[in-house]
Amino acid sequence: MPAPVNLRSGAAIVAAAALGAVAGAIAAAKLPSDKFAWTGFALLPLFIVLELLLKQLAALFEGDRNAARLMLAGAIVVGFYGAWFGVRSS
């Protein structure tokens, strides 16, 4: 059963979504509109940082590395594409 989301893990999820949103807004502003496939490369540095810091971040999720990876990676992706489509639709 997944670990419950506490205040520290919730803050980490919000921070991951904010980082993803910043990266998404920058990518949407800088990348050509016909190059949607390049967005995956913009996410790659965030996923590398997530994997490098996973041991420390897992402590926020009561030591559950899989829950930390899933929740934080999902927050990064949702934040990124939310900002991407928000910038591109305006």
Q: Is position 2 within any domain?
A: no
**Mean pLDDT across the stretch 1-12?**
79
Say if residues 21 and 78 touch (Cβ distance below 8 Å): no
pLDDT above 60 (res 13): yes
Of 52, 59, 45, nearest in space to 9 by CA: 59
- Cβ atoms of 29 and 88 within 8 Å: the answer is no
| Total Cβ atoms within 10 A of residue 53 | 12
Number of domains in the chain: 1
pLDDT tens across 15-29, in order? 999 999 999 999 999
Instruction: Give the model's confidence band at 3: pLDDT under 50 very low, under 70 low, under 90 confident, else very high.
Output: low
Question: Is position 29 within any domain?
Answer: yes
Structural domain containing residue 56: 7-89
Residue 1 covered by a domain = no
Distance CA 60, CA 85 (A): 30
67, part of any domain: yes
Tokens read off for 74:
């999902």
The residue type of 31 is L
